[in-house]
Structure 1
């Protein structure tokens, strides 16, 4: 059975990564070759399938991912992220401090990838917790919830961006629906969940944490940072461009307005790659040139950002190679045949498959890409909104972060939690966010 071969492949992947501590990209390539041979693919098609999967995935995501990394780094290094966080915390006041952290983390999380957002925001959370004499976990939970939601649901993050490309979904629609779904998900998995977590693992709220491993952090006096308005605008600029283009396209479609040069220009500017390039150039000015920072220093920041995402790009490419082997090896068609004539929603199927792979593999991005290989052939049987399938896959790939996920160890170490406390906070938080995400996707599917 093809699924048995895939199961063996996933087991080998786990052994290679967790047992032998082999690099994730190398492990994915080994398993992709092994599964291809196990599925009986002709030898002269194995390499071409792997190359097509790797190239096809990176061809879509590399531009958006690379530009997004540079944009986020510019905002962080200029102090824009710190300005956003501190201004919101001051405006919301001590009583509503959790909500300030949620909003700040959500805005910053759109521009920064999960790990970068954690590293950038944790020192701020620690400082505020110390000043207000509140638990770092009390502020850390809403921060983590917001960063996880933006990571799972919103382009230009790697998971939703790559999956939108694989499914052929409109990335603007993914972004628009993703924001609608992410907001209530963050509220439930953040401030509301904190009350439950306090009952489940009360000792976690007494921990002081330790961020010494982060080294000396780049901090700014508030007057040295860009203004709050321009910092938010720069962070949100790609979202604004893509959202405007998507809304105008939706109006054109619903009103059956004839296509014209105006709509072509709007679609061009709202394309994810174009929007990210324009946003980066805008950030070069607002976070750099306008603040009298030399262009050489600005470009050094951009180069540093790209250096940090090199391995992540290869891992995403490896996930794409594995996905292509599953499709070309007939596994996707086998799954499609299994579900032929059944009433299961492809949205639910995508979530279940992504959740199983996430729990098994640890990496949300690899789980999401592998899901595409199993779900794409099924989509042809249904009339379904592809943007919602992307979001369901993102939700499933966020579930139950545990010992095989780097995020689990980051949260454990920085907040000084025990294993039990990490399971009772972060693992449970990621599971609640995943289930809520699915629920809101299914709810939204009734209206779009």
Structure 2
């Protein structure tokens, strides 16, 4: 039974990572080898299947992933992210401070990875919370909500980029739809839910956070880039890819001008142009030496090594699932079913997320089970299926997710309080992401 073999593989992966503390990439490769053999893939083809999955996954996302990390680091190291956060917080004022944190985190979260956004913004809101004499949890929840939604729905984050590649979805359209889905999602999970959480786990809102997370690289505001140019630089790849998506949607007649627009707004080209733009706006324009800027870019890429391997390992596991015929088996099970492919992708990703902990690994493994089913369905919106996969991968963050511990420790919560706040909050992000994607599917 192929599904039993996959279940054994998932359990083995959990055992290797959680019980034996084995490196996630090594665990993924071991499980891929075992699952491939159990599925009956010929011994001589097993390694080839793993190499194909790993190389195919990294081949497409490597450029975007690496350049995205550089862009985020340039904005962070220049003080641009600090300027965005402090300016919004000052303008919104004390009464609407949660909205300020939410918007600042969402803007920064587009350019920065989830963990980087948390590390960068926690010290800022830590200081604000002390100054306003409010719990850091009150400000921290909107911050992690926006960062999580950007991480789950929006390129150039690794999960959305990788799943777009697996489904052959248009990255620009996925970004456009992702923003539409993310906005109401972060308002519900980041603004409305914390008010309810204050009644469910009131003790969480008495926390003052961890002092060890309250130290950040300090910037004098007058020495940081301007607010407008910082926001524009962070959103520059989004603007370019959105223009490309609109051109695709409108369906302009092909000519030299449209060809150039498509080239410029292609996700790879958009990211390299954005990094060059950031080098100028965040650095050269402010007389920062090129060597300093390249050191920032280098350190951003150096930090990616293991994450890239883990993503590749997820791609390898996906490939052996495909080559082992599991997807075809699942497609036969659902033959004649009227289940929405959007809903099916979400369910698979959500189950994998709960079991594996890593949203990125769940995102990468899901297409192996979903793609054969999509092949039997006409007129499937691949961008929405990719978004639903991202939404499923955000759900129910708990003890097997590194992000869960990061949020718990940085906000100084107990385990029970983290369950009552972040676990439920991430579930709301996942469910709202599905609901708004299904609504969008009705109109597209």
Matched, 1:19 2:15: no
Matched, 1:369 2:364: yes
Contact 2:32 2:50 in 1 (8 A): yes
For structure 2, the 5+ residue unaligned runs are none
Matched, 1:426 2:428: no
Contact 1:101 1:143 in 2 (8 A): yes
Map 1:68-217 to 2 at 5 A: 68-212=68-212, 214=213, 216-217=215-216
Matched, 1:295 2:294: no
Q: 1:413 aligns with which of 403, 409, 413?
A: 409
Q: Give the equivalent residue in structure 2 for 1:224.
A: 223
Deviations 1:358-395 (A, max 9, x none): 00000000001110110011111122100000000000
Q: In the aligned structure 2, how far is the partner of 1:48 from the partner of 1:190? A: 45
Q: Give the equivalent residue in structure 2 for 1:243.
A: 242
Q: Give the equivalent residue in structure 2 for 1:390.
A: 386
1:215 Cα offset (Å): 8.0
**Partner SS for 1:220:** coil
Q: In the aligned structure 2, how far is the partner of 1:215 from the partner of 1:180? A: 33
Q: Report the more deviating stretch, 241-250 or 79-88.
A: 241-250
Q: Give the equivalent residue in structure 2 for 1:57.
A: 57
For structure 1, the 5+ residue unaligned runs are none
Q: In the aligned structure 2, how far is the partner of 1:248 from the partner of 1:28? A: 39
1:211 Cα offset (Å): 3.9
Q: In the aligned structure 2, how far is the partner of 1:123 from the partner of 1:379? A: 45
Q: Give the equivalent residue in structure 1 for 2:257.
A: 262
Deviations 1:292-333 (A, max 9, x none): 111011000000000111100000000000000000000011
Map 1:311-330 to 2 at 5 A: 311-330=306-325
Deviations 1:55-105 (A, max 9, x none): 000001110000000000000000000000000011111111000001100
- The total of aligned residue pairs comes to 443
Q: In the aligned structure 2, how far is the partner of 1:226 from the partner of 1:152? A: 28
Map 1:33-52 to 2 at 5 A: 33-52=33-52
Contact 1:249 1:263 in 2 (8 A): no
1:249 Cα offset (Å): 2.1
Deviations 1:5-27 (A, max 9, x none): 00000000000000000000000
Q: In the aligned structure 1, how far is the partner of 2:304 from the partner of 2:18? A: 22
Question: How much is the aligned-residue C-alpha RMSD, in angstroms?
Answer: 0.8
Q: In the aligned structure 2, how far is the partner of 1:56 from the partner of 1:238? A: 24
**Partner SS for 1:446:** helix
TM-score of the superposition, structure 2-length normalised?
Answer: 0.99
Q: In the aligned structure 1, how far is the partner of 2:264 from the partner of 2:129? A: 41
Deviations 1:10-45 (A, max 9, x none): 000000000000000000000000000000101111
Deviations 1:145-173 (A, max 9, x none): 00000000000000010000000000000
Contact 2:122 2:214 in 1 (8 A): no
Q: Give the equivalent residue in structure 2 for 1:401.
A: 397
Contact 1:354 1:393 in 2 (8 A): yes
Contact 1:54 1:317 in 2 (8 A): yes
TM-score of the superposition, structure 1-length normalised?
Answer: 0.98
Q: In the aligned structure 1, how far is the partner of 2:328 from the partner of 2:261? A: 37
